Amino acid sequence: MDASTAGPPHWDPYNQKYFANPYPVFKRLREEAPIYHNEEYDFWAVSRYDDIQRVLGDYETFSSARGDILEFVKANMPIPPGVFIMTDPPIHTAYRTALTKVFTPKKMNALEPQIRAFCAKALDPLVEGGEFDFVQHLGKEMPMRVIGMLLGVPDQDLKAVQRDGVEKLESERGKPLDLSEHDFVAEGFGDYIDWRYKNPSDDLMTELINVDFKDETGTIRKFSRDEILTICSIIAGAGNDTTNRLIGWTGKTLAEHPDQRRQIYENRALIPQAIEEILRFEPPGPSVARYVAKDTEFYGVKVPAGAAMCALSASGNRDETKFENADTFNINRERKPHLGFGFGFHACLGNALARIESRVALDEILNRFPEWECDLDNAQLASTSVMRGWETLPAYTPKAKARRANA
């Protein structure tokens, strides 16, 4: 008997004993406490698929105006203009409509050759040695450069922007995020925005400067400089971390299911559905938070206005009433909508880009490494309550393994 099976159901997003494998706890929550209250941190949580959709789809009851991360919801921080992920309609609708004009599938798809070229450049030097790290060599590098391609920021300045975004969401192990000095803005983008006002180019930053949109008051206008700066910061932060973690989970999950990896290697048309199954099976974001704007009820239990609510999307992705044999990884399962990118009008704006990046990354990895094992003894899980994934995930091919054994 362990922490996941002993005593009443208990989930703590900061407790590392749940971090490596939260799914046994999630299963107990779905079965025994589908509306759960954590007294220590004073938040509520729903764990069943349909309840998660209810929370994420009803902004009048479950508001995004304080953010989608538990610590932000509870802190009730002032939100600067442009943080569209921390707004409800009609403000969110106005921003989202404007951003969909510039964040188009066509623009995302046009990046594929550059993404593929970067993956090849990163992986080719590692082929002979047969040892590589899914995160250090690819996950931390490729998504960051894709954001640079989108926004028109050169490679030499991307690391500082990435570090700024990552540090904002890092937490000490076992503790909530410290928001005492949190800033939503990556100031490093400011100089580039000023440059783009005078020197427009074919990039997302220029389009953000020029796009006209109707704001929540009905006024047709352009984004202010501060709004653009904040939007660029959000795109960079979200675009880096989510895809980074997804690439790590792709490496680990397929290492543990070599027969399915072989199927994908032999038939690359399976890659898109494999990525969807990985998003269901090991989503980078385990939960989404909301502010409870008015009294509500689940299963006869009252949740009061003013409370913080967590929608455990990773649990919903393992809900047996929605996904048959939900704890089994199966790239050939019947496709049903998962919650890996959220749900409803707040679903991840960059999901198309994340899918392209992860699809290309897997294809290029398989081109060079048809088989691999993960060195979990030397891998490290990231210490953050916001995203669940790998900080390092070293791997090696059978030939490299044999060489190690004979060394």
Between these two residues, 130 and 241, which has the higher pLDDT value? 130
Res. 206: pLDDT tops 50? yes
What's the CA gap between 79 and 91, in Å, rounded? 13
- Quote the domain boundaries for residue 107: 16-406
Residue 10 lies in a domain: no
| DSSP, res 134 | I
State phi, psi for 64 to the nearest 5 degrees. -95, 5
Query: What is the domain count for the chain?
Result: 1
Residue 4 lies in a domain: no
Residue 73 lies in a domain: yes
What's the CA gap between 141 and 145, in Å, rounded? 6
**CATH for 236:** 1.10.630.10
Neighbouring residues of 313: CB distance < 8 A, sequence distance ≥ 6? 52, 283, 285, 286, 287, 288, 339, 340, 342, 343
Residue 5 lies in a domain: no
Lowest mean pLDDT of 154-158, 213-217, 283-287, 385-389, name the range.
154-158
Query: Tokens 């397929």 appear where?
Result: 254
Q: What is the mean pLDDT of residues 7-19?
A: 87
Element (DSSP H or E) covering residue 381:
strand 380-381
Res 1: pLDDT = 40
What's the CA gap between 213 and 97, in Å, rounded? 8
Q: What is the mean pLDDT of residues 158-180?
A: 59
pTM to 2 decimal places: 0.92
Residue 6 lies in a domain: no
* Per-residue pLDDT tens over the stretch 376-395: 999 998 867 778 999 999 99
Between these two residues, 120 and 202, which has the higher pLDDT value? 120
Residue 106 lies in a domain: yes
What's the CA gap between 34 and 138, in Å, rounded? 38
